[in-house]
Amino acid sequence: MAEVYDTENIFAKILRGELPCDKVYEDEHVLAFKDLYPKAPVHVLILPKRPYVSVTDFSQSASDAEIAAWIRAAGNVARELGVAEGGYRVLCNVGRDGHQEVAHLHMHLVGGRDLGGMIRREERQP
Ligand code: AMP
């Protein structure tokens, strides 16, 4: 089943120009801007412009051109912002278990410091 897209989500408003953003990259298919509450010296959000909720529907419904543009944008941003050499992390939160806050697909690109291990281990029961 297709995911229902809320046209009033905050990134939809940014994409329509109704809210500001600190843009770092844009092309026909993609907009990238700085995260308002950065978790690292570099923290950029990379969005397809069309209304996809998550990787789940994007991977099913987006055109090859959109998918290519999105992942190419990540490399472009990493090079532009100077983290390509030292390393960085890209991730997408999806849905409830992924703690996705904004229901418009976005890739986080974080870097500029040692990011530590990837995911907190589950607490073990005694
Ligand atoms: P997620 O939990 O993956 O949905 O992440 C949403 C991200 O959007 C968080 O890292 C927020 O800090 C960020 N965010 C929320 N509002 C804005 C905004 N107006 N401009 C830029 N980033 C935002």
Measure 112 CA to ligand 1 centroid, in angstroms.
18
Domain assignment present for 81: yes
Residue of 29, 43, 106, 108 marked active site: 106
Supply the pLDDT for residue 121. Answer: 77
Pocket test for ligand 1, best of 34, 91, 101, 106 (most atoms within 8 A of CB): 101
Number of domains, the chain: 1
The model's pTM is 0.95
CATH (domain of 79): 3.30.428.10
Supply the pLDDT for residue 126. Answer: 61
Domain assignment present for 105: yes
Domain assignment present for 77: yes
Domain assignment present for 118: no
Spell out the per-residue pLDDT of the chain, length 126, in tens.
Answer: 467 899 999 999 999 999 999 999 999 999 999 999 999 999 999 999 999 999 999 999 999 999 999 999 999 999 999 999 999 999 999 999 999 999 999 999 999 999 999 877 777 766
Domain assignment present for 30: yes
Is any ligand 1 atom within 6 A of the Cβ of residue 91?
Answer: no
Domain assignment present for 3: no
Domain of residue 63: give its range.
10-113
**Amino acid sitting at position 95:** G
Q: Is 106 among the catalytic positions?
A: yes
Rg of the Cα trace of the chain? 15
What contacts 78, CB < 8 A, 6 or more positions away?
84, 88, 109, 111
Supply the pLDDT for residue 2. Answer: 60
Domain assignment present for 123: no
Is any ligand 1 atom within 6 A of the Cβ of residue 100?
Answer: yes
Which of 25, 26, 42, 44 is CA-nearest to residue 34? 44
Domain assignment present for 78: yes
